Amino acid sequence: MIVILLGAPGSGKGTQSERLTAALDLVHISSGDLFRDHLGRGTPLGELARTYMDAGALVPDEVTIRMIADRLDRPDVHGKGRVLFDGFPRTVAQADALDALLGEIGAGNVGAAVFIDVSETTVVERMAGRGRSDDNPDVIRTRLAAFRRDTEPVIGFYRAQGKLVAVDGEGTVDDVFERIMAGLVACE
Ligand code: AP5
Ligand code: MG
């Protein structure tokens, strides 16, 4: 089972990932968390990613795809095919690359892409309550623009394949989780 979580910055991808990985026994792969891990360890990849993340821009596809390929090679994932992707793919080129990578490691196909649909007003409020280093108003504006320009086409990519599960992301964490679970059951 390969599930993708799509949504604007602050839409609740990380929050719902915790619940979904526990409920569905999936390995959580968050590209943002992987970049932040590299940053924390001061690796060259982390230093490269920092310039983009601080500005709220997407890290280039080739860098992101290589990092995900390395992650998929680890034994908890390789050949097992039980993954929840959070924040990846974020461009159509990344979505194409993911299909190829999953084929290479024999992990099956993407089963569902869940789009957590939340208003910009709500995501700005939610991020204000969190305060990560890329949560200041200017950077949030850039992240939202990157979402509209580069990631909204990914929603269309999965819709065209009949894999899109769009859920209303407003309301409590429990409400949204229940909608996602119901959407995944209906999609099977
Ligand atoms: P990434 O780490 O993926 O950040 P993001 O997409 O901007 O999303 P967030 O992590 O900020 O939000 P979220 O949707 O996980 O929401 P959360 O659950 O935390 O990416 C960071 C950067 O890395 C990018 O800008 C880019 O530079 C780079 N990057 C990452 N992936 C990349 C890729 N594939 N390609 C290129 N570059 C990439 O919730 C937010 C807040 O709201 C929390 O405080 C939470 O407690 C609260 N909350 C959640 N749900 C609810 C609810 N229902 N009610 C009330 N509060 C809620
Ligand atoms: Mg997140």
Q: Which numbered atom of ligand 1 lies nearest the CA of 53?
A: 27
Kindly list the structural domains of the chain, giving each domain's residue range(s) and its CATH number in brackets, ordered by start: 2-31+81-187 (3.40.50.300)
Protein residue closest via CA to atom 49 of ligand 1: 12
| pLDDT of 113 strictly over 90 | yes
Model pLDDT for residues 25-45, shown as the tens digit of each residue: 999 999 999 999 999 999 999
Q: Measuring CA to CA, how many Å separate 71 from each of 28, 29, 77, 83, 125?
A: 11, 8, 8, 11, 32
Evaluate whether 5 touches 87 at the Cβ level (below 8 Å): yes
| pLDDT of 188 strictly over 80 | no
pTM beyond 0.95, yes or no: yes
Strand pairing category for 112-117 and 2-7: parallel
| pLDDT of 81 strictly over 90 | no
Q: Is 5 touching ligand 1 by the criterion CB < 6 Å?
A: no
